[in-house]
Copies of this chain bind each other. A is one copy, B any other.
Amino acid sequence: MSFTEFQKTVNLSKQRIYSEAFAQYRQSIRVKKEMTAVKNLSRIFDATLRISNKKGFPSMTMRDLSRETGLSMGALYTCFSSKEDLLEMLQRQGRLIVDRFLKQATEAETEPRAKLNGAVKTHLYLSEAMQPWFYFSYMEAKNLTKKQAKMAVDSELYTEQVFLDILNEGQERGVFVPRDYRLMASLIKAMVQDWYLKRRKYAKRQVSVDQYADFVLALVEAFCLAPQEVTTLNQEE
């Protein structure tokens, strides 16, 4: 799947998930009509990401948010019960989308190299399609409650584990040579993160997400691929 197609499916699923978010938070939300709630919540989430990614969530005031959304303070507080509650909702709905996409994507391939390729591309595509949310989650991790922070760390470790499992399986099957794959998985994660953390730098240099993905994969394979696989690769070309 190309990135453009991927982007579309993410946007579609966003709408569904906003509705689900409303259902889940119905208790803590005063607004009763779903349409109003979803419409406002999506504006609020977008505005929160825009403002927070400029000056940080703790420095974003409710008056900032009121200005950016065009809603009054009163209207804002019918959608959430506190600033902390807003953070939690934003956090949760983002993870909902991410989890859904990552789970479905890892099931497609079976061959280790194709699996690795798929995993890296899915992660990069997803972080590109939801860049503001990924950036926000990384930078505001400190402001989360203990429970929320643990979930954030867990989901990061889960990602790493996906890479690690693929690398280990590849080694067992003789596709990859023995290496410290724990460390390798961490570094793949680090490189994937750099893509959304330094989004502007790469945009300025006109590096596309596909170029980035291919480069990271080539780098990792140069280090991990067994010699016979490299030969196979050359014959294919």
CB pair A182–B194 under 8 Å, yes or no, is: no
A139 to nearest B CB, angstroms? 7
Of the candidates A143, A180, A186, the one having the most CB atoms from chain B within 10 angstroms of its own CB is A186
8 Å CB contact of A54 from B142, B198, B212, B220: B142
Q: In whole angstroms, what is the CA distance A69 to B211 when docked?
A: 49
8 Å CB contact of A58 from B56, B191, B220: B56
CB pair B190–A142 under 8 Å, yes or no, is: no
8 Å CB contact of A218 from B201, B207, B223: B223
CB pair B219–A59 under 8 Å, yes or no, is: no
Q: So how many copies of this chain end up in the complex? A: 2
Interface residues of A in 194-213 (CB under 8 A from B): 194, 198, 201-202, 205, 207, 211-212
For residue A202, which residues in chain B have a CB less than 8 angstroms away from its CB?
A: 186
CB pair A219–B212 under 8 Å, yes or no, is: no
A195 to nearest B CB, angstroms? 9
CB pair A205–B182 under 8 Å, yes or no, is: yes
For residue A215, which residues in chain B have a CB less than 8 angstroms away from its CB?
A: 180, 183-184, 187
For residue A184, which residues in chain B have a CB less than 8 angstroms away from its CB?
A: 215, 219
CB pair A56–B143 under 8 Å, yes or no, is: yes
Q: In whole angstroms, what is the CA distance A202 to B212 when docked?
A: 25
8 Å CB contact of A190 from B56, B180, B191: B191
> Which A residues have a C-beta under 8 Å from some C-beta of B?
54-56, 58-59, 139, 142-143, 180, 182-184, 186-187, 190-191, 193-194, 198, 201-202, 205, 207, 211-212, 215-216, 218-220, 222-223
